[in-house]
Amino acid sequence: MSRENSLVPQTMRAAVYRGVNDVRIESIPVPQIGPGEVLVKIHTCGICGTDLKKIHTGSHSAPRVFGHEMSGTVVAVGEGVTGFVVGDRVMAYHHIPCGECFYCRKQTFAQCETYKKVGCTAGFEPSGGGFAEYIRVMDWIVRRGLVKIPDHVPFEQAAFIEPVNTCYKAVAMLNLQADETVLVIGQGSIGILLAALAKRTGAKVLTSDLYSERHAIAAKFGLDHPLDARGDVVAAAKAATEGRGADVALVAVGGNALITVAMDAIRPGGRVMLFAATQHGEAPFDPAAVCMDEKTLMGSYSASVAIQDEVTQLVLEGYTSGFDLTQLISHRFSIEDAVAAIDLASNPQPDSMKIVIQAAGN
């Protein structure tokens, strides 16, 4: 028998995916929890590019409720749960690996079959569920992927823990040195996170984007080498590095044409990290650049449990120590207006950055 807040309703509002480009605001049952599980009332959920890809490509069956960059309050606790009580402020990862399989032993957690299972749902096939008022958090997530939020940290800040983890993982894989120059292509919210984390290593960071409005937000995070993406970014990267090219290029925008730009912008022996190339396709690049010029093409996807504690500390302490991520939020929408939120996120404007959906009564 669960311990719960007596005010939990029987139904809730949710943005339900019903098919390609078809999201509808509906009333659906509040999910029931079982032993080892908790029910969380969502406060804030960010819209991620992977949510948009699923909505627009029909890669997943319908119906579903997407959304995974989420934070909220525990309102019911299942039998056997320890460490969490009703009223706790939390964020929930939607993926947690088994920790024992071949890929976990190699710390390639995103390829673990347990990791690929989704452990949070608002109902229907588990898909995160953050675009709803309540989510059911399953037992293996409660044990290893539910994070408490201190009272002084806003829910909006805590909702960035999962996306920061994905960015931190990519930057850590690059093993940046203080004497290196990094080019980050794209200055949406993810591009700024990647660039800000790269800067924390001591490296020099160049940021490329089409919009001055985004460079202005980036400047709040100490990113002071903006490049106009309408110009010759390759030439600019070489001009900043005595003609060699950047040591690293991080591609934070979908679009396979940018892989060529990144490869051309780095020096011989440099590295290109693909972060936003999450759709299958073909992308031409010069194989001689990899072989003869010894350039490395890398990829990073999703979060890593190995850095979970470090990222949690960075985000929660960062709110009061110069890493206020709420500055990245440009638009806040209610669940009733979630379709408009998804439309804006799908058609970004110069002044749009991270777009969040927030449940009523918060």
Same domain flag for 144 and 109:
yes
DSSP string, 98-115: -SSSHHHHTT-GGG-HHH
Residue 306 belongs to some domain of the structure: no
Same domain flag for 177 and 118:
no
Structure tokens given for 11: 């139904």
Same domain flag for 181 and 45:
no
Domain encompassing residue 70? 3-154+319-358
Q: How many domains does the chain have?
A: 2
Same domain flag for 199 and 265:
yes
Same domain flag for 175 and 72:
no
Residue 308 belongs to some domain of the structure: no
Same domain flag for 347 and 282:
no
CATH number of residue 142's parent domain:
3.90.180.10
Same domain flag for 195 and 118:
no
Neighbouring-strand partners of residue 132: 14
Residue 313 belongs to some domain of the structure: no
Instruction: Quote the pLDDT of residue 1.
Output: 41
Instruction: Quote the pLDDT of residue 277.
Output: 84
Same domain flag for 68 and 183:
no
CATH number of residue 192's parent domain:
3.40.50.720
Same domain flag for 13 and 53:
yes
Q: Write the pLDDT tens digit of every residue in 220-246.
A: 999 999 999 999 999 999 999 999 999
Structure tokens given for 42: 């969502």
Residue 311 belongs to some domain of the structure: no
Residue 304 belongs to some domain of the structure: no
The three-state secondary structure class of 185 is strand
Same domain flag for 176 and 57:
no
Distance CA 238, CA 122 (A): 49
Instruction: Quote the pLDDT of residue 202.
Output: 98
Residue 42 belongs to some domain of the structure: yes
Instruction: Quote the pLDDT of residue 312.
Output: 98
Same domain flag for 7 and 149:
yes
Residue 160 belongs to some domain of the structure: no
pLDDT tens string, the chain, 362 residues long: the values are: 466 666 899 999 999 999 999 999 999 999 999 999 999 999 999 999 999 999 999 999 999 999 999 999 999 999 999 999 999 999 999 999 999 999 999 999 999 999 999 999 999 999 999 999 999 999 999 999 999 999 999 999 999 999 999 999 999 999 999 999 999 999 999 999 999 999 999 999 999 999 999 999 999 999 999 999 999 999 999 999 999 999 999 999 988 899 999 999 999 999 999 999 888 888 888 999 999 999 999 999 999 999 999 999 999 999 999 999 999 999 999 999 999 999 999 999 999 999 999 986 65
Instruction: Quote the pLDDT of residue 278.
Output: 85
DSSP state of 17: E
Instruction: List, in order, residues 6 or more apart from 69 with CB less than 8 Å away.
Output: 45, 46, 47, 48, 130, 159, 160, 162, 163
Residue 159 belongs to some domain of the structure: no
Same domain flag for 128 and 173:
no
